[in-house]
Structure 1
């Protein structure tokens, strides 16, 4: 059992230390240009269609939530009929 633990530790260490580091492109300058340009769009929609979809879904859920809260308040404000 102990032999297997040592072997596993050596394999894990070898794969971590011998892996080639990947070069990741820095995308921050392109995103800064996109979000700082003055094109008349609100900043929460400059990310594209994904941002627009998330915005609309959030607004839809907010409207439904407010409607449900108002319904529950109206229902709670009137006394229940006892049979």
Structure 2
């Protein structure tokens, strides 16, 4: 049991300390240039097709939610029929 704990400790120490540093490309300038271009698109659609899909889903859920709220409001406003 002790040997397994020691090997686990050594393994965890080795994976943390021997990890190579990766160079991360700083793409902030390119993103700023892309989103600040004046191409006629609103900012929430400049990200591409994924932004368009997310925007469409958001609008669909908004319309469905407003419809449901109006339905519930209408049903609450109408008096119940006596049975």
Normalising by the residue count of structure 2, what TM-score does the alignment of the two structures yield? Answer: 0.92
CA RMSD of aligned residues (A): 1.0
Aligned residues: 83
CA distance, structure 2, for counterparts of residue 9 and residue 32 of structure 1: 44
Confirm whether residue 51 of structure 1 aligns to residue 51 of structure 2. Answer: yes
Cα deviation, residue 3, structure 1: 2.8
Alignment of 1:27-66 (within 5 A): 27-66=27-66
Gaps of 5+ in 2: none
CA distance, structure 2, for counterparts of residue 35 and residue 2 of structure 1: 57
CA distance, structure 2, for counterparts of residue 69 and residue 24 of structure 1: 47
Cα deviation, residue 19, structure 1: 1.7
Cα deviation, residue 24, structure 1: 1.6
